[in-house]
Homo-oligomer: A and B are copies of this chain.
Amino acid sequence: MFDLKAYLDSKKRLIDKALEQKIIPEKKSGRLDHAMAYSLMAGGKRIRPILCMAAAEAVSGTDANAGILECSCALEMIHTYSLIHDDLPAMDNDRLRRGKPTCHIAFDESTAILAGDALLTLAFEILASAGATNTEYARRWLKIIHSISRAVGYKGMIEGQMRDILFEGRTISLDQLKHMHALKTGALIRTSVYAGAVLANASVEKIEKLDIYARNIGLAFQITDDILNIEGDPEIMGKATGTDQMYDKATYPALLGLAASGEYLAELIKNALLALETFGRPADPLRALAEYIVKRKK
């Protein structure tokens, strides 16, 4: 039996340690670095970097994939920047995240905007730096930088957040909802899996299968988030629940009902696992992650 908890714990430790070393706030002024480190080390689950690592393992059969830790750190920084900006008063206006005051509450609005900008920029610096130390794989890293920047850009994650804001209080179709989530949360999850696969030098065929996996779990991740916003425990989640309904947000439970949302979830996970059929044992972490994504409590 694959022990997911031990796997998650050991990967999280690795990533947390690497992230901590990337930004060492200066003792003196250092307001900017303090804000960056504050949000980055606020206890995230590190799902995206772990997906990247697990995808590389599924392809190469080993966890010793060169550059995988740099790439993972960059992905988590981009995720954190998106949370900092999404939480801003002009956006979702959230005061609590992972049980701690959000960045603009702990510091202030201008510092939070800049800390987000800085984490996004640092992600690309880390990727370029990892690539520059390895002549042989320069093109591979450019592919990864290209994929990530597209995924989180104005035709990806940022457009998803824009739509999320524009949709507030409006009646939208299930297709519009799906497309919005494919952009807002799906794109970063897909590129995380893709980046891991490329670092492990995956074949085109394997990359395609992993992408089917990623698309399915990406959507499943969002639906689970929506359900947790209704049924979750605010204590465990470290943030308020019931907010989607309060702000009249379009969600899967709101559009499909809770029961049908649950069935849809099961179908997505089935499709994700099916895509991994030919991968053998090295894909066990990815399989367990798919199940974890819907069973998590926060």
Given contacts A90-B110, A113-B91, contact A154 B122 (CB under 8 A): yes
Kindly provide the distance from the CB of A35 to the nearest chain B CB, expressed in whole angstroms.
9
Q: Which residue of B lies closest to A122 (CB)?
A: B153
Distance, CA A88 to CA B165, complexed state (A): 18
Chain A's interface: helix, strand, loop or mixed, by majority?
Answer: helix
Contact of A121 (CB < 8 Å), options: B143, B149, B165: B149
Kindly provide the distance from the CB of A80 to the nearest chain B CB, expressed in whole angstroms.
13
Whether the pair B113, A85 counts as a contact (CB closer than 8 A) is yes
Whether the pair A139, B128 counts as a contact (CB closer than 8 A) is no
Which chain A residues (45-61) contact chain B, with CB distance < 8 Å?
none
Kindly provide the distance from the CB of A68 to the nearest chain B CB, expressed in whole angstroms.
18
Whether the pair A146, B132 counts as a contact (CB closer than 8 A) is yes
List the B side residues contacting A129 at CB < 8 Å: 146
Asked whether any CB of chain B lies closer than 8 Å to the CB of A16, the reply is no
Distance, CA A142 to CA B130, complexed state (A): 9
Whether the pair A117, B120 counts as a contact (CB closer than 8 A) is yes
Whether the pair B118, A153 counts as a contact (CB closer than 8 A) is yes
Distance, CA A90 to CA B112, complexed state (A): 10
Whether the pair A132, B121 counts as a contact (CB closer than 8 A) is no
List the B side residues contacting A110 at CB < 8 Å: 88, 90-91, 162, 165
Which chain A residues (120-149) contact chain B, with CB distance < 8 Å?
120-122, 124-125, 127-129, 131-132, 135, 138-139, 141-143, 145-146, 149
10 tightest A-B contacts by CB?
Answer: A90-B109, A118-B154, A125-B149, A138-B138, A128-B146, A128-B145, A121-B153, A124-B149, A32-B162, A90-B110
